[in-house]
Amino acid sequence: MQDFDAVIVGAGAAGLFCAAQAGQRGLRVLLVDHADKVAEKIRISGGGRCNFTNRDLDPAAPHKHFTGQNPQFCRSALARYTPADFVALVQKHGIAFHEKHKGQLFADRSAEDIIAMLLAECAAGGVTRWQPCGLKKVVFSASSAGRTGGGSYQIDTDRGAVRARSLVVATGGLSIPKIGASDLGYRLAQQFGIPLVERRPGLVPLTFDGAAWAPYAQLAGLALPVAIGTGDHEAPHAAPLRGSPPPEGAAFALGRPGGKRKSRMAFDEDLLFTHRGLSGPAVLQISSYWREGAPLAIDLAPGVDLPAALAQAKARSRRLVANELAALVPARLADAWVQQSAEWQRPINEATDKALARLAQQLARWQLTPTGTEGYRKAEVTLGGVDTRALSQQSMEARAQPGLYFIGEVVDVTGWLGGYNFQWAWASAHACAQAL
Ligand code: FDA
């Protein structure tokens, strides 16, 4: 049987990076992955250009860009391996990149460059990679030799059995099963008695009941900037509805600080209408905070004083409400929206003040309750996962199981859209590699 210092399961973002770092520290590392192709998720990420990190990340305040039962868990790892560290690595490999939107960094050419970089780093660390290679069984033998309380893992794979003192689980989440996602990481956690937080799709389009959605289906393909928030009977932002733009990604704690909090999230991003519901960055972001049965509130004209603008239009124009509204929101939206009421399908000077006020109110506080999500087929991430209370935030090692580590998306840490999930993969992998 071959011996390694560490076996890492999952050659995705976290697994490749951890393997490279551990190998370069002189450890004998085996990286095992059941998929035919290495790092498929990196390949398809960021529209093929991989949004590999985000400059706008404050490790001292991880709750700003990460969710999970305890967002503070990722603080130490994020502080010890920062976006600047990853950027330095990308630069060392001569990969050109650019900033797109709100600190998001993308490869200029292709995500393939990031994969090639990670493979080169693994090669520099002498990492052995078996791929495709499935995992059949893991058995832990406690021993009095070696590290205090340590032992070894016997790992049966499709290519034979190996032994290692450390086993790193980097199997990612459940999204996009057709490119290799599986529940192996969660099953391994369960095998060793490590608790899991309920899993659900995150960064995912939201869907609506067919009949309820029928009036909006005609808007499929329309994209527009919005302010979107969780919580009912409120504008997306606690701040006054109109006027100055609301704070980015503001979380409003409705409970006592430190106590059980019911927080409301809000984002300023683009919304995309689809045939089945809503997508686009605004909806993907809010989906990670949305719970089944809960309503969303959307301001379809953020920063526009709709009541004042409609009142002014009424005073000076005889054009149809839809035509005047088209100066304030996209014309397709204006046309579709006025179809909802006969009182809006007339010249604006003939519309009542009450009708125009209702129009303004509905566009600025569109209340709607999704019926579901597009599921793991379309989700970019999996929320929940290995309970962070069971892991060391310094090393990602399971507190009650020596030598067993969990890194990347399999852990109950989920970042916002915009490179945060890869940064968590790099940072958690780095923390683990230093401890192996
Ligand atoms: P990852 O999923 O990368 O790797 C897990 C590996 O484990 C896979 O190679 C898989 O084959 C392997 N594995 C699973 N089960 C196994 C088993 N039973 N046996 C052996 N191997 C097994 N994030 C971001 O920051 N910027 C972005 O631009 C994007 N874009 C994006 C687009 C799309 C379409 C998706 C689906 C996701 C993103 N993401 C993203 C999210 C990001 O891809 C994700 O968070 C990271 O890849 C997670 O890294 P991990 O290494 O934890 O898992």
In order, the DSSP letters of 136-161 are EEEEEEE-SSSSTT-EEEEEEETTEE
Phi, psi at 294, each rounded to 5°:
-90, 145
Complex-level ipTM beyond the 0.95 threshold: yes
- CA-11 nearest atom, ligand 1: 9
For atom 30 of ligand 1, the residue with the nearest CA is 45
- CA-425 nearest atom, ligand 1: 49
C-alpha 435 – ligand 1 centre gap (Å) = 23
Angle at 425 between CA 423 and CA 429, to 5 degrees: 120
> Half-sphere exposure of residue 69, counting CA atoms within 13 Å on the CB side?
15
Question: In the structure encoding, which two tokens stand for residue 72, read together?
Answer: 């503070």
Beta strands in 49-115 (DSSP E): 51-54, 66-67, 97-99, 104-107
pLDDT digit string (tens) for the chain, length 436 residues? 899 999 999 999 999 999 999 999 999 999 999 999 999 999 999 999 999 999 999 999 999 999 999 999 999 999 999 999 999 999 999 999 999 989 999 999 999 999 999 999 999 999 999 999 999 999 999 976 545 568 999 999 999 999 999 999 999 999 999 999 999 999 999 999 999 999 999 999 999 998 989 999 999 999 999 999 997 544 454 333 332 333 444 443 333 333 344 567 899 999 999 999 999 999 999 999 999 999 999 999 999 999 999 999 999 999 999 999 999 999 999 999 999 999 999 999 999 999 999 999 999 999 999 999 999 999 999 999 999 999 999 999 999 999 999 999 999 999 999 999 999 999 999 999 999 9
Specify the pTM. 0.93
| Ligand 1 pocket check for 157: Cβ under 6 Å | no
- CA-13 nearest atom, ligand 1: 51
C-alpha 41 – ligand 1 centre gap (Å) = 5
| Ligand 1 pocket check for 418: Cβ under 6 Å | no
C-alpha 377 – ligand 1 centre gap (Å) = 13
- CA-42 nearest atom, ligand 1: 43
| Ligand 1 pocket check for 12: Cβ under 6 Å | yes
C-alpha 155 – ligand 1 centre gap (Å) = 22
Give the pairing of strands 97-99 and 29-32: unpaired
- How far apart are alpha carbons 425 and 14 in whole angstroms? 5
| Ligand 1 pocket check for 9: Cβ under 6 Å | yes
Question: In the structure encoding, which two tokens stand for residue 91, read together?
Answer: 């630069």
